Amino acid sequence: MMIFRQSVKLISTELKLFRREPEALFFTFILPVFFLFLTMEVFIPGEAPKAIVINYVAPSLMVLIIAGTTIYSVPQTIVHYRKIKFLKRLKGSPVTPVTILGSLALSDFIVTVLGIALLAVTAVLVYDASLAGSLLSFLAGFVLAFLSLAAIFLFIPAVARSPRAASAIGMFIYFPVMFFSGVFIPLDMLPDWIVRYISPYLPVTHAVELMQGLWQGIPLLDLTREVLILLGILCLGLVIAARTFRWE
């Protein structure tokens, strides 16, 4: 019960703090919806069937939100809280490390869910997007994508000493990943060598494949390969984080 009470308070406080950060609000809620309109209205040629295209664009923009949270928000929060010794102060109270980090991750997860919900509603209402697969397996895929990306990018707070360094590393990862993982540009429009030698080695690529597949109604069983890769990334990330994570 103690752990439950601690987690609820940590999460609700974290969400309150998030609400007071205009920047974070912009990246999670406004930017993805803006990209949705931009892609649909500007980048997609007029004759393309929007009702079909939207079912590629919406799930990949959802991965954009997950990537933003896991590459930027989570590492930023951890590095900042470590720098001001807030993490250490929390550790000095009767709360387990897993509760502290789990609560921080869960509050970022909740924010991501809200961002994705807003994007999904916009895509459905404005562009007639429709989830062809089952909602349950789509949600399961989303949770898996979030967890494995969150875990693998936990190496950022291990290497970055300052929030500024974390942000620089995030930037360095974020942009190439966005262009080579099929988030902005579909993989089949990219040069062959990128698709063959770069994309498969980027974790985000597999999150995009999984989310797009599940959205378009491909059964989870046919996506086993992506699921296994993401599970592998999750385990790898957790092992690295457990070995390199620093509280101060």
Partner 1 sequence: MVKTVIVVRDLIKRYGDLVAVDGVSFEVYENEIFGIVGPNGAGKTTTVECLEGLRIPSGGFIRVLDLEPKADGYKLRQLIGIQLQEGKFPDRIKAREALELFAALYSRSLPAGPLLEKVGLLDKADGYFDNLSGGQKQRLSIALALVNDPQVVFFDELTTGLDPQARRAMWGMVSSTREAGKTVILVTHFMEEAERLCDRVAIVDRGRIVALDTPANLIRSIDGGLRISFSVDDSSVVAQLENIDRCRLAVSNRDIAIQCADGRVVGEVIRILGDNDCNFHDFTVSKPTLEDVFLSITGKEMRE
**Contact residues for partner 1 (CB under 8 A)?**
2, 5-6, 8-10, 13, 16-17, 20-21, 80-81, 84-86, 88-96
The nearer residue to partner 1, 20 or 243, going by C-beta atoms, is: 20
Sign, CA torsion 159/165/168/174:
positive
Show the tokens assigned to 18: 């998030």
The nearer residue to partner 1, 95 or 198, going by C-beta atoms, is: 95
Least separation in angstroms between residue 216's CB and partner 1 is 40
Question: In the block, which residue shows the tokens 């089952």?
Answer: 134
Least separation in angstroms between residue 248's CB and partner 1 is 8
Least separation in angstroms between residue 95's CB and partner 1 is 5
Contact present, 244 and 158 (Cβ < 8 Å): yes
Among candidate residues 163, 149, 161, the one with its CA nearest the CA of residue 108: 149
* C-alpha 22: how far from chain center: 19
The nearer residue to partner 1, 6 or 39, going by C-beta atoms, is: 6
The nearer residue to partner 1, 89 or 161, going by C-beta atoms, is: 89
Least separation in angstroms between residue 27's CB and partner 1 is 17
Contacts for 52 with CB less than 8 Å, ≥ 6 apart = none
The nearer residue to partner 1, 6 or 69, going by C-beta atoms, is: 6
Least separation in angstroms between residue 119's CB and partner 1 is 26
Taking the C-alpha atoms of residue 181 and residue 139, their distance in angstroms, rounded to an integer, is 21
